[in-house]
Amino acid sequence: MATESSEGEEETKLMGGNPQLVVDGDLREMAKNAAWSVSSCKPGNGVSALRDDNYETYWQSDGAQPHLVNIQFQKKVKLQLVALYVDFNLDESYTPSKISIRAGDGFHNLKEIKTVELVKPTGWVYISLSGNDPREAFVNTFMLQIGVLSNHLNGRDTHVRQIKVYGPQPNPIPLQPFQFTSTEFITYSILR
Amino acid sequence: MEGVLIECVQNSLRHLLYRNAIFICERLCSEFPSETNLQLLAACYLQSNQAYSAYHILKGTQMPQSRYLFAISCYQMDLLNEAEMALCPSNEPMAEVPNGAAGHYLLGLIYRYTDRLKSAAQQFNQALSLDPLLWAAYEELCRLGTAGEATTVFGESASECIQKQYMSHHDAGPQLQASSDDHIAVSGRQQMPENVSTRQLRHLNANNIKDNSLNHNGAVFSGSTTASQPSNGVHSNISFYNTPSPMATQLSGVAPPPLCRNVIPNGQLSSSVSADVSPRSTVKSTLQPPRRKFVDEGKLRKISGRLFSDSGPRRSTRLAGEGGPVTNTSGVPVTAGNGTNHSSKNHTSSKLGSAASRSVTVRKGQSLSTETVNEGQFCFFVVNHIICFLTRLNHNLGFSVVDDSRLNTVSTTSGSFPSLDTRSCEHDGSMSRASTSVSKVANGALEVLSLLKILGEGYRLSCLYRCKDALDVFLQLPLKHYNTSWVLSQVGKAHFELVDYIESERAFRGARLASPYSLEGMDIYSTVLYHLKEDMKLSYLAQELISTDRLAPQSWCAMGNCYSMQKDHETALKNFQRAVQLNSRFTYAHTLCGHEYVALEDYENGIKSYQNALQIDARHYNAWYGLAMIYLRQEKYEFSEHHFRKALNINPCSSVIMSYLGTSLHALKRNEEALAVMEKAIIADKKNPLPMYQKANILVSLEDFDGALAVLEELKEYAPRESSVYALMGKIYKRRLMYDKAMLHFGLALDLKPSATDVATIKAAMEKLHVPDELEDSI
């Protein structure tokens, strides 16, 4: 996956795509208990296709652009990575091209945090939500919105096959300021 | 015809040919319907794991032995209410529990699983008083946390009790001198009233011997009830011997005449009969340190035990052996001592013993009733048969007998069984034997009890989580007992509770070496390996356990731990749920399910699982701990404090629980109490760095930075490569405005590769650090 960052712009171009989903071990899928919704969909290709771990099924939008996928969490969560499975070879003009990621407390105060442009993607595409600053490694938010602003070949509707959202692993031991790294601490930190 | 059929059935049972036994027995029951035959059929069914069949045929029967068998089948089918009704019918509140100590034990188990813990403890205590060698009852008492000290339970009174039983039987009836190993030499301790025909006696004795030998699992030694009133015992014997008819009535379950008031019908019968033999067997058995492998704890023990009231001595030796020797759930038990024939017979399986004993019990009744028909031949036939069987067993199996002298005698006598037979007939009146055997009994009883004392005390202490004391007690065992799977598992468990995983692993490894087929305690072993992060060993253990027994919950617990270690919590959960399905009374499986639910953040189901575990065993402190941790995560601090305290009540030495209790107190802003608890935790276990770290945390929140720094400096010695220590120190230095020290420590913390979140936090702190730097002079 090649990324080019243009200076002064917030856009990055992403090409290619992994057929396999590969994420770091210290990341955890965060959106299992989130509420997913879409701006529009064709009957039979609804929002559940985005979460069924099946590359054959896809969400197809059915309305005006931008097409939106909204993910609302029950509490503020730290998010680090968004992964999309899209395939130009299968979807051609339905493949998303420009994607904008917004975050906020709700529909009323979403702010764009990232924009990427996909160029003929064929598999998993990773969009990191971290800023350049090490302090901004995570986005702390109640809601995430993934907007498809335009498609390849100027298609109207879009197909997205899977979406996964990742954040850091929580501290296994509650009420600790820092996580433990050494074996002595870890051994004594839990009873089984 | 009836006699032939019965003989055939018992023969098949002895040879473990259950299908044959069931078929023939069914013919017997249809030809000669009687309750004793039904009991025999039920015994066959129970032996071949068809409790439901036994349940149906025994439904509504009233004879004590039938009630007992019915209760066992209900228990196995999980119909605890009916089992309880059978054992103590509500319309006869004063009825005796059938089969004495065994019946009380079974009743105690029923009470325990229906949550009536006080009554359960009462029943177990009663069982122990009736038969001080009923180890299973003592074990249950330990698990309930209400066991008396082993020295008193297995102490003087117990030894007197055993001796009295043997004495009374010695005096009461013909003493069957089991010759060195198996052989039934009818001893002539004839102080019996003369109107008992010797043949009858011998017949009885032969039966008894057979019973004794066959019964190794230790039936209830209901003879103990007679022990306290030896005269009654004698009476019962007398009545038994004198009049076949009362015996028949006894067999039919009619309440025994006042003479035998304390004789438990049927069970008592067998016990009194067997009691004769028991001293013999006891003598032999107790002279050898019992060393028997325990085949299959709960079920077999119960079945065999209950059915055979006479197994007092046998049981004692077997149980004593149980304590020491390896407990394997699936292996062939090696019966060491137990001197008598029992050992040889017992070796194949406890089932054999119980089956045989059961068959013998019933057969006894039968034979007695038919004795008038063809007494003489039958008697000798029986004796011959027994001797043949025993010698055959002895030769074929050739398991190790602990006592070499026994072995020698066995071999010598085995060749000469016809002579043995005659010899047995000639033995009447060897009084000298009586006196020596009395002292032998005393010695034997003392030896058994001394062994049980150590084992019992060790087990009791480890159930009370006084682990260091328990370890000291176990070290008092002789080496040959110590190096057995049961003891080593207990040692491993004690180390595990002390959070000393390395020692624990060593002990469990020894246990695996001692008996690789044993599953007892292997779930704890898998948790130890999980803690030590030994994935290779853990997966190897899990694979081995599954291949040993796919249907044991411990194997699936080990498998689940394996997956959990690889963070595959969903598969781990599935495995633990399988373990629960296999045995819903296996507490630890429920707790492990709870842990996995928590790892998957499914707190509701986690709480449910922990509560299930606590329903089964309210003293399972891991479940209390699990609940408390859930509440801690959900920020319900009062709940978590309450549950941590409960866990601490059960296991007062655990520094981990103490440190978490301190954490929850800190969250409730009760900081002085929190600090006090932390101090206790630090003292309790010097090797646990967590309480110190938590203490530092609390001190920071109290703004006692110097104190916190002092603690953390000390902590650096214990755990030099723990990044959170440096991170916290950096934070403190930053608060104290000592920026260069703060930077140094943050840098150290980052070097130690903390998690991604922490990296972000630390880096953010470092950035913010610089901002004031520009405004102020760094210190």
Q: Which of B499, B688, B724 to mutate to test the interface with A (most CBs of A within 10 A)?
A: B724
d(CA A131, CA A133): 5
pLDDT tens, residue by residue, B185-217:
333 333 333 443 444 434 444 444 444 433 434
Is A190 in Cβ contact with B724 (below 8 Å)?
Answer: no
- Give the SS3 label for residue B487: helix
Mean pLDDT of B691-699: 92
Buried b / exposed e along A125-161 (16+ C-beta atoms within 10 A): bbbebbeeeebebbbebbbbbbbbbbbbeebebbbbb
Q: How confident is the model at residue B339, as a pLDDT?
A: 38
Mean pLDDT of B338-367: 39
ipTM above 0.95, yes or no: no
- Average pLDDT of chain B is 72
Nearest residue of chain B to residue A136 (CA atoms): B760
- Give the SS3 label for residue B257: coil
Mean pLDDT of B325-347: 38
- Token couple for B554: 């411990």
**Which stretch, B26-40, B619-633, B732-746, has highest mean pLDDT?**
B619-633
Sheet holding A35-38, edge to edge: A2-5, A11-15, A111-119, A96-104, A139-151, A67-79, A35-38
Residue A20 φ then ψ, to 5°: -105, 150
Q: Which residues of B touch A33 (CB under 8 A)?
A: 601
d(CA B110, CA B87): 10
pLDDT tens, residue by residue, B643-655:
999 999 999 888 8
**Residues found in chain A:** 192
Mean pLDDT of B335-349: 38
Q: Quick check: A74 contacting B, CB < 8 Å? A: no
Least confident of B64-78, B202-216, B728-742: B202-216
Cβ count within 10 A of residue A7: 4
Q: Chain B 607-646, CB below 8 Å of chain A: which residues?
A: 622, 625, 629, 632-633
Q: Quick check: A11 contacting B, CB < 8 Å? A: no
More confidently predicted of B581 and B356: B581
More confidently predicted of A5 and A53: A53
The DSSP result for B656-710, as a single string, is HHHHHHHHHHHHTT-HHHHHHHHHHHHHH-TT--HHHHHHHHHHHHTT-HHHHHH
More confidently predicted of B253 and B465: B465
Nearest neighbour of A192 by CB, restricted to B530, B752, B764: B530
Q: What pLDDT band is residue B357 in, cutting at 50, 70 and 90?
A: very low
Q: Which residues of A touch B767 (CB under 8 A)?
A: 133-135
3-state secondary structure B108-136: HHHHHHCCCHHHHHHHHHHHHHHCCCCHH
Q: What pLDDT band is residue B445 in, cutting at 50, 70 and 90?
A: confident
Percent of chain B with pLDDT over 70: 64
Q: Chain B 506-535, CB below 8 Å of chain A: which residues?
A: 527, 530-533
Q: Chain B 52-71, CB below 8 Å of chain A: which residues?
A: none
d(CA B170, CA B176): 9
Is B632 in Cβ contact with A174 (below 8 Å)?
Answer: yes
Q: Are A41 and A47 in contact (CB under 8 A)?
A: yes
- Token couple for B54: 């036994």
More confidently predicted of B241 and B527: B527
Cα distances (Å, whole numbers) of residue B499 to B527, B645, B661: 11, 19, 17
Strand partners, A151: A96
Q: Which residues of B touch A185 (CB under 8 A)?
A: 689-690, 693, 719, 722, 724
Residue B90 φ then ψ, to 5°: -75, -20
Nearest residue of chain A to residue B561 (CA atoms): A192
Q: How confident is the model at residue B102, as a pLDDT?
A: 86
Is A181 in Cβ contact with B764 (below 8 Å)?
Answer: no
Q: How confident is the model at residue B416, as a pLDDT?
A: 41
Residue B237 φ then ψ, to 5°: -60, -45
Of B498, B531, B434, B517, which is closest to residue B174 (Cα–Cα)? B434
Q: How confident is the model at residue B186, as a pLDDT?
A: 36
Strand partners, A13: A4, A117
Mean pLDDT of B42-50: 89
Is A189 in Cβ contact with B690 (below 8 Å)?
Answer: yes
Residue B622 exposed, middle or buried by CB count within 10 Å (0-12, 13-18, 19+):
buried
Nearest residue of chain A to residue B759 (CA atoms): A134
d(CA B48, CA B36): 19
Q: Which residues of A touch B753 (CB under 8 A)?
A: 181
Mean pLDDT of A38-58: 91
Q: Are B262 and B232 in contact (CB under 8 A)?
A: yes
Q: How confident is the model at residue B401, as a pLDDT?
A: 37
- Average pLDDT of chain A is 85
Q: Flag whether pLDDT at A147 surpasses 90.
A: yes
Q: Quick check: A178 contacting B, CB < 8 Å? A: yes
Q: Flag whether pLDDT at B174 surpasses 60.
A: no
Q: Which residues of A touch B499 (CB under 8 A)?
A: 187-188
d(CA B519, CA B553): 9
Least confident of A153-167, B108-122, B151-165, B568-582: B151-165
Amino acid at B465: Y
**Which stretch, B86-100, B258-272, B589-603, has highest mean pLDDT?**
B589-603
d(CA B684, CA B676): 12
Q: How confident is the model at residue B510, as a pLDDT?
A: 94
- Quote the minimal CA–CA distance from B687 to chain A in Å: 9
Angle at alpha carbon of residue A133, lines to A131 and A138, rounded to 5°? 50
Q: Quick check: A128 contacting B, CB < 8 Å? A: no
Residue A31 φ then ψ, to 5°: -100, 20
Q: Flag whether pLDDT at B280 surpasses 50.
A: no
Q: Which residues of B touch A138 (CB under 8 A)?
A: 757, 760
Q: Flag whether pLDDT at B19 surpasses 80.
A: yes
Q: Quick check: A137 contacting B, CB < 8 Å? A: yes
Q: How confident is the model at residue B514, as a pLDDT?
A: 92
Q: Quick check: B499 contacting A, CB < 8 Å? A: yes
Cα distances (Å, whole numbers) of residue A168 to A77, A78, A117, B360, B582: 9, 7, 25, 69, 37
Q: Are A47 and A31 in contact (CB under 8 A)?
A: no
pLDDT tens, residue by residue, B364-381:
434 333 434 444 454 444
Amino acid at A45: N
Nearest residue of chain B to residue A29 (CA atoms): B600
Least confident of A23-32, A65-74, B225-234: B225-234
Is A188 in Cβ contact with B656 (below 8 Å)?
Answer: yes
Percent of chain B with pLDDT over 90: 30
Nearest neighbour of A187 by CB, restricted to B531, B625, B767: B531
Is the N-terminal amide bond of A66 cis, ω within 30° of 0? yes
Q: Quick check: B124 contacting A, CB < 8 Å? A: no
State pTM to two decimals: 0.69
Q: Flag whether pLDDT at B677 surpasses 90.
A: yes
- Quote the minimal CA–CA distance from A136 to chain B in Å: 7
Strand partners, B105: none
Q: Flag whether pLDDT at B391 surpasses 70.
A: no
Q: How many CB pairs under 8 A join A and B?
A: 107
Q: Chain B 671-710, CB below 8 Å of chain A: which residues?
A: 687-690, 693, 697
Q: Flag whether pLDDT at B242 surpasses 50.
A: no
Q: Chain B 760-779, CB below 8 Å of chain A: which residues?
A: 760-761, 763-764, 767
Residue A69 φ then ψ, to 5°: -115, 120
Amino acid at B117: L
Q: Flag whether pLDDT at B626 surpasses 90.
A: yes
- Quote the minimal CA–CA distance from B673 to chain A in Å: 18
Q: Are B64 and B98 in contact (CB under 8 A)?
A: yes
Q: Which residues of B touch A27 (CB under 8 A)?
A: 756
> What are the residues whose beta carbons fall under 8 Å from the beta carbon of B621, sequence distance 6 or more?
B465, B646, B647, B650, B651, B654, B657
More confidently predicted of B587 and B187: B587
> What are the residues whose beta carbons fall under 8 Å from the beta carbon of B230, sequence distance 6 or more?
B164, B167, B168, B171, B172
- Quote the minimal CA–CA distance from A91 to chain B in Å: 34
Give the strand pairing for A111-119 and A11-15: parallel
Q: Quick check: B731 contacting A, CB < 8 Å? A: yes
d(CA B384, CA A155): 98
Residue A140 φ then ψ, to 5°: -100, 110
d(CA B250, CA B222): 15
Q: How confident is the model at residue B93, as a pLDDT?
A: 56
> What are the residues whose beta carbons fall under 8 Å from the beta carbon of B362, sequence distance 6 or more?
B6, B10, B36, B37, B39, B40, B43
Is A135 in Cβ contact with B760 (below 8 Å)?
Answer: yes
Q: Flag whether pLDDT at A163 surpasses 90.
A: yes
Nearest neighbour of B527 by CB, restricted to A27, A174, A192: A192
pLDDT tens, residue by residue, B765-774:
888 776 554 3
Of B99, B122, B107, which is closest to residue B74 (Cα–Cα)? B107
Least confident of A72-76, B403-407, B536-540: B403-407
Q: How confident is the model at residue B433, as a pLDDT?
A: 64
Q: Chain B 711-730, CB below 8 Å of chain A: which residues?
A: 718-719, 721-724, 727-728
Nearest residue of chain A to residue B588 (CA atoms): A192
Q: Which residues of B touch A184 (CB under 8 A)?
A: 687, 689, 718-719, 722
| Residue tagged 């296996």 (tokens) | B586
Q: Flag whether pLDDT at B345 surpasses 90.
A: no
Residue A81 φ then ψ, to 5°: -145, 140
Mean pLDDT of B260-275: 39
- Quote the minimal CA–CA distance from B633 to chain A in Å: 6
- Quote the minimal CA–CA distance from B621 to chain A in Å: 10
pLDDT tens, residue by residue, B491-515:
999 999 988 899 999 999 999 999 9
Of B48, B85, B91, which is closest to residue B70 (Cα–Cα)? B85
Q: Which of A24, A73, A191 to mutate to test the interface with B (most CBs of B within 10 A)?
A: A191
Mean pLDDT of B244-266: 41
> What are the residues whose beta carbons fall under 8 Å from the beta carbon of B337, sequence distance 6 or more?
B285, B286, B287, B288, B289, B290, B291, B292, B317, B321, B343, B401, B402, B403
Q: Chain B 573-602, CB below 8 Å of chain A: which residues?
A: 592, 595, 601
- Give the SS3 label for residue A77: strand
Least confident of A115-124, A128-137, B131-140: A128-137
Nearest residue of chain A to residue B530 (CA atoms): A192
Least confident of B349-358, B425-434, B741-750: B349-358
3-state secondary structure B324-337: CCCECCCCCCCECC
Buried b / exposed e along A64-96 (16+ C-beta atoms within 10 A): ebbbbbbbbbeeebbbbbbbbbbbbeebeebbb
Q: Are B612 and B592 in contact (CB under 8 A)?
A: no
Q: How confident is the model at residue B607, as a pLDDT?
A: 96
Mean pLDDT of B731-753: 89
Amino acid at B529: L
